[in-house]
Structure 1
């Protein structure tokens, strides 16, 4: 498989012809320490201490499935914070970002691609990511097809349909778009027909059921769906695998009281994964996701911000 490092070395001509904005926070947030995330307000009147904490997991699969998967962790979060905790099922990245921006969402996991937009527009402060017990983390973007589709290599996508997930997704849209343009000179609308499925599981099922000839997906989602026998390995064939990207980042709304933010962090890093529904669901990833490790947005999301800049992502908040 080719590596995906070409993404970070896109030609000057491509970048020059792309209307893009460098990463910056919305004007409602301050960043005095330069860590690229919103500072916690110093004015006590701007801080919130809700009776019920609302938690959301990124909308990559059926929310009903993940309400059960996260229940044990949310019980632990309630114990550590002394708060009631509610699981908020979100159907799309935009709704998740808007919920935090509007103050309706307090603790969340934002997927790789929507993470920078959540930081910029919703005051999201990520601090954790799933990893193996050895600290290994990440996933790859894969372009998948089904046996007999007529798509044997990337060049075969020309004239065909390619399923993306949503425009905020790194592996479901931004990274493959940059790859196809920079390495293969293939552009959506000109060389292939783009369609949007909404979520990674929709794209994977669409390929498995031969609704789409090909799709760009996060292979972490694919592996979990195979492990749960939602799809079979022999229904899917990969024609491209990228370099490793960071996974979903977990964090809090910037304006929660500082002591509450610390209790929430403690809940993540003190959670016992052994025998949990969380472990059962995520240990099928490669590397296995079986612990929470600390991360920083500035360092761990650097490659994603570079991809955003090269592909013309705007951080203007609506």
Structure 2
């Protein structure tokens, strides 16, 4: 796998990270260390309204389980979720595999992943297109492609890794690459003809197909990646052990046989939650280094 060929791309990524961190800090000053409050956030891999809708029942459930007031704080982008956790502006975050690695590296190991969905043990990405001439990754040479966020595991890092493994360098072999910012936005870009193809997380793709928000006969999947570890709920390592246990136990107790459990798990697109650990994300860290996305 090769590194980014463009130094300017790396500079712009670093600049965006710094700016996002400042934007988050300015909007979350009042949220610092409020007693009796569990401050939660999530990487913005879908529209903000969808993230709020998905979290509301889970937030109510965690409030009952912990005895704390649970506050959901949306962030501007993926980098802001990392900065918020590292700088103690928030207590718990829904992270992708790559953003967990970024947070863990930035904090020098002061971030603890608690749980992941069963589905996150073998998560996958899909490449989609409306172009009849594209049927494999090699066909993307000379074409335009949209990733999601630059810090997305399933919308950028792993798709990039599999492109490189197929001897397709996105920075030199494609006509143009774009970053939509979110998985649903990637689908919209492909469906609207703004790009020839796009890469996104399979869970969002299946949700959009099931909700009939995209026609798979028009926008089709032409490549699905092998499985890899992805999303998790992470907390700051200095969180009280008793609170970590309460949160973990609450997630593990969710069961689709109960109305409350079914509602929460369905919204989280999960069959159940299972424990996870930092070591599960070693391959993600290696892939990030190999793709030139982590220094």
Interval of TM-score (by shorter of Structure 1 and Structure 2):
0.7 to 0.9
* 1:32 alignment counterpart: none
Q: Which residue of 2 aligns with 1:256?
A: 239
Equivalents in 2 of 1:152, 1:140: separation in Å?
18
CA distance in 2: counterparts of 1:182 and 1:192, whole angstroms: 19
Aligned to 1:88: 73
Query: What are the ranges of 5 or more consecutive residues in structure 2 without an aligned counterpart?
Result: 8-32
Match of 1:212 in 2: 195
Given the superposition, is the C-alpha separation of residues 278 and 189 from structure 1 closer, same or farther in structure 2, using an over 3 Å criterion? farther
Find the aligned partners of 2:180 and 2:220 in 1 and give their Cα distance. Answer: 19
State yes or no: 1:129 paired with 2:116.
Answer: yes
Partner of 1:22 in structure 2? none
TM-score (norm 1): 0.75
Helix, strand or coil at the partner of 1:113: helix
For CA contacts below 8 A with separation 6 or more, give which structure has more relative contact order: 1
- TM-score, normalised to structure 2, is 0.80
Are 1:70 and 2:73 counterparts? no
Matches within 5 A, 1:271-310: 271-273=254-256, 274-275=258-259, 276-283=262-269, 289-298=270-279, 300-310=280-290
For residues 144 and 154 of structure 1, the distance between their equivalents in structure 2, rounded to whole angstroms, comes to 10
How far apart, in 2, do the equivalents of 1:49 and 1:121 lie? 24
> After the TM superposition, which of the residue ranges 263-272 and 274-283 deviates more from structure 2?
274-283
Query: 3-state DSSP class of the match of 2:124?
Result: strand
How far did 1:187 drift? 3.6
Query: What do residues 178-215 of structure 1 show as CA deviations (whole Å, max 9, x unaligned)?
Result: 32233224341453311111111110121122222101
In the aligned structure 2, how far is the partner of 1:242 from the partner of 1:94? 25
Rounded to whole Å, the distance in 2 between the matches of 1:227 and 1:124 is 35
Deviations along 1:66-89, one digit per CA (max 9) or x if unpaired, are: 322222221121112111001122
In the alignment, the residues of structure 2 paired with residue 117 and residue 193 of structure 1 have an alpha-carbon distance, to the nearest angstrom, of 26
Match among 141, 146, 169 for residue 130 of structure 2 = 146
Unaligned runs of 5+ in 1: 1-9, 20-47, 284-288
| Higher helix proportion (structure 1 or 2) | 2
Equivalent-residue separation in structure 2 for 1:239 and 1:102 (angstroms): 41
| Deviation, structure 1 residue 49 | 7.5
Assess, with a 3 A threshold, how the Cα gap between structure 1 residues 157 and 255 changes in structure 2: closer, same or farther.
Answer: same
Question: Are 1:18 and 1:311, in contact at CA under 8 Å, matched by a contact in 2?
Answer: no
How many residues align? The count is: 264
Q: Does 1:110 align with 2:90?
A: no
Aligned equivalents of 1:265 and 1:49: distance in 2? Answer: 21
